[in-house]
Structures are given as structure tokens and as C-alpha cells.
Structure 1
Amino acid sequence: MSQAAESVDAHDALVEEFGLHIGRAMGWPRMAGRAAGLLMLSEEPMTLAQLQDALDASKGSASEMTRLLIANGTVERYKEAGQRHYVYRWRNDAWAGCLQHVVTSTTRLRELAERAREQGAGMSAMQRDRLNEMREYYQFMVSRLEPLLSEYTATRESRTVQP
């Protein structure tokens, strides 16, 4: 087997592995994990039609998966100058984007927990305890995740600044 063929086989195997493991770990459909793997390994941005073809997916499915990846902070969609179609690419700061998504989602849940605690003031002791536990959990998580994101971002920036 030629080196080029081995490279293609390794690429395809990794895309499938991402589909299985990233999809499962993130609670995503397998197709989203495959799209993530494909875009991460792609050296060039890809159109929706290219993604659709490479994933053997419908246009709707490919579109839905790219929206999911964009929402999760790993992929960006943009239009290249002079081109008609949007393209998708793996963000240079995808892992920071992914962590930012977690921080944002967790912060929203903390805000929900705070509102729920206030609204539940007249509920039973058990219900208030559960609402308080929810609020404490999300306060704890946000207080740990925000510094983690800052540390990761600073570490990443220090690596990219050095020659």
C-alpha cells in the first residue's frame, strides 16, 4: 500500500473514530462527531456540498451538524472574498471555543437556578433544598470554569507568541 493510500485510510479511520467517540462523549449524533473530525483534519475550508459528499449525508443533515459545531465553538462559517458559497473550517481556537461554550451554557444554567430559587421561596423544604443545591452546583461550576478558560487561553496565547 502506498503512503498516500495509508494516509487516506488513516484519515478516514480518524473521522470514523471521532464520530464514535466525540459524538458519544458530547452527546452529539455520530454524524456531528464525523463532521468535527473531517473539518479538524481538513487543510482547506469546505463548502456544505463538500461536507455533504464526504460524510455521505443529506444537505439537511450536513447543515444541522455544522450548526451544532458552530454553536459548540469549534467550527466557523464564513464567505471567502469573491465566492458565492459559505465555507466551514475548524477554528484555530476551537478548544477555547468549546470551553467558552461550556462556560456560557453553565452560566445560563446558574442564572436559571438563581431565578428558580427565588421563585421557589414558598415551596416545601425539600423543593427549596433541591433548588438551593442546583444553585450551589452551578455557582461552583462557573467559579471553576471561568478561571480554567482564562488559564487555558493564556497558556495557548503564550505558546503561539513564542517563535
Structure 2
Amino acid sequence: MALAAGEDALIEDFGLHIGRAMGWPPMAGRTSGVLMLSEKPLTLAELQEALDASKGSASEMTRLLIDNGVVERFKEPGSRQFVFRWRDDAWVGCLQHQVTVNRELLELAENAQVRGKHLPAEQRGRLRQMRDYYVFMTEQLEALLTEYTRLAKGER
């Protein structure tokens, strides 16, 4: 897959900035850039070529991006091969991933608070703060997801 003029530099920017901001390896950022800019879904082999990456690396990066809600894997009608594409609702998917992560951490915090009732006051306070933080974050992210989903659908 040949990249258009200027896309190489843009994809490297994705690798550097998205990768760092999301805590991803630079290759995941580059993979997101390739898929976001691609005019069509790409096979794993096409991704490998575009990224100059091994099959294992390309596979691992697509799995990370799928888990983070921005890429989807599917088979096109009549094809036996899976392809990958940037989701049309990628930013909703990304926000949904953040909600899911915070819900999981809220569950951990709630369980830790119950299981830590026997701890000294200072440690119980830390567990309470952790729970309070994840209650706040989860509520806020859920509200953002509702609002952003509405905006993404063109509702005002």
C-alpha cells in the first residue's frame, strides 16, 4: 500500500503523539494513522507493508486498537480474509473504552473498600478516596459519552 505525499510524516506524528498520549507503543499510533487515513479496509498483509512491520507486530497493534474501540475487524462479503478499518464511530468507541476501564476500576475500588474495613484509618481513607475518584470519573465519563454520542449522531 503506497502512501500519498505527506502521509508518511503525518503517520509518524500519530506514532509519536497518539502513542505517547495513550500510553501505547509508537507502532500503535502509526497503525491508527494508517487506518484512519486509508480509503479502504486493509488486510493484515497490507498493514504490515504500510508499517514496514512484522505480522506479529501488526496483529498486536490492531488488537490493541480494537480493544480501545477505534478499529474494527471484519470479513467483507465474499471474502475469506479479515480486514481492518477505522470505525466510523471511533471517538464514541474510544470514549466507551474509557467508561469501561473506569467502571472496572470503580468495581475494584468498591471491593477494596469493603475488604479493607479492618485496616487503619489512614489506609481506609485512601481506599475511600480511590472509590470516590472512580465514582466521580465514571459518572462524568458516562455523561460525556451520552452527550458526545448525541452530538456524533448530529443531534443538537
TM-score range for the pair, normalised by the shorter chain length: over 0.9
- Aligned partner (choices 54, 57, 64) of residue 53 of structure 2: 57
| C-alpha distance in structure 2 between counterparts of 1:84 and 1:53, whole Å | 20
Structure 2: give runs of 5+ residues left out of the alignment. none
By how many angstroms is 1:45 displaced?
Answer: 0.2
Q: How many residues matched?
A: 154
| Greater helix proportion | 1
The yes-or-no answer on 1:126 pairing with 2:104 is: no
Aligned to 1:71: 67
Instruction: State the shift of 1:9 in Å.
Output: 2.7
Q: Which residue of 76, 80, 86 corresponds with 1:80? A: 76
TM value normalised by structure 2: 0.96
Aligned-pair Cα RMSD in Å: 1.3
2:36 aligned residue? 40
Q: Whole-Å Cα distance in 1 between the matches of residues 139 and 116 of structure 2?
A: 24
Q: TM-score scaled by structure 1?
A: 0.92
Quote the sequence identity (%). Answer: 63
1:3-33 alpha-carbon deviations (Å, 9 max, x no partner): xxxx823111111100000000000000000
Does 1:107 find its partner at 2:98? no
Distance 1:90 1:81 in 2: 18
Per-residue deviation, 1:72? 0.2
The one-letter code sitting in structure 2 at the alignment partner of 1:10 is G
Aligned-residue offset at 1:39: 0.1
